[in-house]
């Protein structure tokens, strides 16, 4: 099974190449920067730091995917390879990220408009049949969710296509759609397992968000966990989780292109 094999490949690559954890540590630290304003009480500094991280993340991700690929293929997963790959693909990854955000945002807005129309119809239907109105409202929400998740599912491999197959921005999205369409069942299964694992890694971050809001951690878990504990735990888990899950992501993509009958040669 491709999904199981990808998770095994990711574990093997990480165990044999601890350098991948260095990138994970950078991501772990960067993922906590969004809380800077609440910890240092400077909204301006937090905004600047968060923006810098958003711009830097494609560089880090590109370097990691290239290094993970080298580790999985038995190449040289060194820091020099990391920085070389990151520099080579950074601009395309940054532009691809912008396109990805616009696609998801546009889809969300488009389906929200459809939901709004159905909501108006539901309001009118309440006077006639309340149950039918509730059902229509639920359907509109499900349509919106399915639309957004569908777009994310089909274009999720654009980053790997850019780094591994040296695709252009447009070609990377086309390649992702092509691979997902040819392996839809496998991709859906992989995406569900990967997403559940990703959210498990983010659990300390969710608790930290509750700690720094009016909700308070006691509303989420029965015991109070101090921020000074959650923050380093979140960094550590994000470091290990990112390194492992994106090694798995890279391994899965390599297996997808290996089984695809339409895979062109890398350039």
- Mark 104-128 as b/e (b = at least 16 C-beta within 10 Å): beebeeebeeebeebbeebeebeee
Q: Which stretch, 7-21, 151-165, 186-200, has highest mean pLDDT?
A: 151-165
Determine the Cα–Cα distance for residues 224 and 206; give it in Å rounded to an integer: 14
- The span from the CA of 54 to the CA of 24, in Å, is 16
Mean of all residue pLDDT scores within the chain: 81
Among 211, 204, 191, 207, which Cα is nearest to 238's?
204
Give the number of other CB atoms < 10 A from CB of residue 131.
Answer: 9
Over residues 24-41, the mean pLDDT reads 67
pLDDT digits (tens, 9 = 90+) for 7-20: 999 999 888 888 88
Confidence (pLDDT) at 15: 86
């Amino acid at each position: 099974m491709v999904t199981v094999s990808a998770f095994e490949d990711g574990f093997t690559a990480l165990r044999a190449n601890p350098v991948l954890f260095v990138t994970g540590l950078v991501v772990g630290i960067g993922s906590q920067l969004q809380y800077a304003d609440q910890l240092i009480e400077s909204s301006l500094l937090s905004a600047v730091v968060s923006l810098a991280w958003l711009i830097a993340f494609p560089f880090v991700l590109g370097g990691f995917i290239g290094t993970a690929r080298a580790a999985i293929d038995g190449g040289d997963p060194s820091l020099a390879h990391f920085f070389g790959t990151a520099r080579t693909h950074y601009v395309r990854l940054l532009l691809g990220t912008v396109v990805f955000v616009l696609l998801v945002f546009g889809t969300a807005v488009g389906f929200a408009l459809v939901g709004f129309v159905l909501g108006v119809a539901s309001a009118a239907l309440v006077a006639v049949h309340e149950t039918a109105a509730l059902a229509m409202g639920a359907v509109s929400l499900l349509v919106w969710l399915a639309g957004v998740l569908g777009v994310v599912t089909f274009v999720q491999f654009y980053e790997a296509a850019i780094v591994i197959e040296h695709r252009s921005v447009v070609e990377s999205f086309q390649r992702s759609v092509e691979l997902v369409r040819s392996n839809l069942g496998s991709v859906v299964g992989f995406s569900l397992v990967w997403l559940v694992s990703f959210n498990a890694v983010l659990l300390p971050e969710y608790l930290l968000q509750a700690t720094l809001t009016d909700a308070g951690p006691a509303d989420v878990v029965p015991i109070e966990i101090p921020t000074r504990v959650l923050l380093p735990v979140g960094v550590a888990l994000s470091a290990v989780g990112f390194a492992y899950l994106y090694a798995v992501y890279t391994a899965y993509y390599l297996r997808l292109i290996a089984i695809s009958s339409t895979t062109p040669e890398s350039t």
